[in-house]
């Protein structure tokens, strides 16, 4: 085969990187101009390949993977629930165009990071919704969203707050794009419950197979748990996670911003009271902690100083790459 010149690279140099696969140098069909509201991504497709050789050729399998991810436009529907949404179809169309562009770009001209960035720019709000729906379902939290949804991102529920902040940012982004939203995570809840049920049944079978007195006692206890899971009102509470949340909530040192000489008797008393609460939580078994009552005790102290310190900035709970 005639050697293909790739800038400072040769076909021989690429054997270790892409194997013996022949580099695809088919001509790239001009992309149809597709706009996403005020963002024109078509002109940015040239960032994948403008004919300039990249420093390190893309791996053959990496190009296949990127194209496959971009081509999975139907995935977006799971987070939205409205197949008739024109803006959703627009996002899907952009991804399909990206997929075609990626697979037809020569390996030595394909910048993986640029291609992945363009895919992520379209997919991130949909993936955020799916991921958070799944996480909340694991804790048996039901959530339903539409275009008018405004989630409670206050500090009252520390477990859900950072998730709700990210979820709200995804909803806001899809609203900007004009995507119609109407969906919930009930399917995720059902799937996870069924999975936990199957795991529990398998563990019971294994214990009973041992036949020992202790194994049978544990199996009987697990059978009671299995029976509870059939109750539609049953909630599988992660008590350890709840304890961690309470311990985190008692951390108030950053709220006392004054110097030692400015510390009032009330602040000293509140600091000691919070310390006692921390010790009580630490010394109590997770399942024996009254979560709601303890939260109220902590809030009674904490809120006095939070209000005088600063209003919590919800952006603190967003990942850097999701601050938009």
Q: Which pLDDT score is estimated for 35?
A: 42
Q: Which residues contact 74 (CB under 8 A, 6 or more apart)?
A: 92
Q: Which pLDDT score is estimated for 26?
A: 37
Q: Which pLDDT score is estimated for 237?
A: 66
Q: Which pLDDT score is estimated for 147?
A: 92
Q: Which pLDDT score is estimated for 323?
A: 44
186 CA to centre of own chain: 17
Assign 222 to helix, strand or coil: helix
Q: What is the spatial distance between Cα 125 and Cα 263, in angstroms, rounded to a whole number?
A: 46
Q: What is the pTM of this model?
A: 0.60
Alpha helix ranges (H) inside the chain: 11-18, 60-71, 75-80, 86-103, 112-138, 160-177, 186-210, 213-229, 239-249, 265-283, 291-309
Q: How far apart are the first and last CA of the chain?
A: 49
Core vs surface per residue 229-263: b (16+ CB within 10 A) or e: eeeeeeeeeeeeebbebbeebbebeebbeeeeeee
Kindly state the helix (H) or strand (E) to which residue 40 belongs, with its residue range: strand 39-40
Closest CA to 42 of 107, 121, 160, 109: 121
Query: Which pLDDT tens digits describe the chain residue by residue (324 residues)?
Result: 444 333 333 444 434 333 333 333 334 344 343 344 444 555 556 667 777 888 788 888 999 999 999 998 887 888 888 878 889 999 999 999 999 999 998 888 888 888 899 999 999 999 999 999 999 888 888 899 999 999 887 766 777 888 899 999 999 999 999 999 989 999 988 898 889 889 889 999 998 888 888 888 888 888 888 887 776 666 566 677 778 888 888 877 666 665 555 677 888 888 888 889 999 998 888 878 888 888 888 888 887 777 554 444 444 444 444 444
Q: Which pLDDT score is estimated for 236?
A: 61
Q: Cβ distance 171 to 145 under 8 Å? A: yes
Q: What is the spatial distance between Cα 193 and Cα 138, in angstroms, rounded to a whole number?
A: 8
Q: What is the spatial distance between Cα 14 and Cα 12, in angstroms, rounded to a whole number?
A: 5
Q: What is the spatial distance between Cα 312 and Cα 320, in angstroms, rounded to a whole number?
A: 17
Core vs surface per residue 122-154: b (16+ CB within 10 A) or e: bbbbbbbbbebbebbbbbebebebeeeeebebe
Q: What is the spatial distance between Cα 252 and Cα 246, in angstroms, rounded to a whole number?
A: 12
Q: Which pLDDT score is estimated for 8?
A: 39
């Amino acid at each position: 085969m005639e050697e293909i010149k790739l800038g400072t690279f040769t076909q021989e140099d690429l054997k270790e990187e892409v194997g013996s696969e022949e580099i695809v140098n088919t001509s790239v069909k001009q992309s149809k101009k597709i706009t996403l509201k005020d963002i024109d991504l078509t002109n940015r497709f040239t960032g994948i390949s403008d004919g300039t050789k990249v420093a390190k050729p893309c791996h053959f399998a990496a190009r296949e993977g990127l194209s496959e991810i971009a081509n999975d436009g139907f995935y977006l529907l799971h987070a939205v629930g409205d197949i008739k949404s024109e803006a959703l179809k627009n996002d899907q169309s952009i991804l399909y165009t990206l997929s075609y562009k990626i697979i037809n770009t020569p390996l030595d001209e394909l910048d993986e990071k640029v291609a992945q960035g363009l895919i992520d720019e379209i997919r991130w709000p949909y993936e955020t919704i799916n991921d958070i729906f799944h996480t909340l379902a694991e804790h048996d939290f039901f959530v339903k969203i539409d275009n008018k949804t405004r989630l409670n991102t206050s500090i009252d529920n520390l477990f859900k707050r950072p998730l709700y902040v990210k979820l709200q940012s995804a909803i806001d982004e899809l609203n900007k794009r004009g995507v119609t939203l109407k969906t919930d995570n009930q399917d995720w809840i059902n799937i996870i419950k069924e999975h936990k049920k199957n795991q529990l049944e398998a563990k019971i079978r294994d214990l009973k197979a041992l036949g020992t007195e202790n194994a049978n006692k544990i199996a009987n206890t697990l059978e009671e748990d299995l029976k509870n899971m059939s109750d539609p009102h049953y909630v599988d509470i992660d008590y350890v996670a709840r304890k961690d949340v309470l311990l985190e909530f008692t951390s108030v040192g950053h709220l006392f911003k004054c110097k030692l000489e400015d510390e009032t008797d009330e602040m000293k008393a509140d600091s000691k009271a919070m310390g006692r609460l921390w010790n009580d939580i630490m010394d109590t078994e997770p399942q024996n902690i009254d979560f709601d009552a303890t939260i109220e005790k902590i809030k009674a102290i904490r809120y006095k100083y939070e209000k005088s310190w600063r209003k919590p900035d919800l952006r603190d709970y967003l990942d850097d790459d999701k601050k938009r």
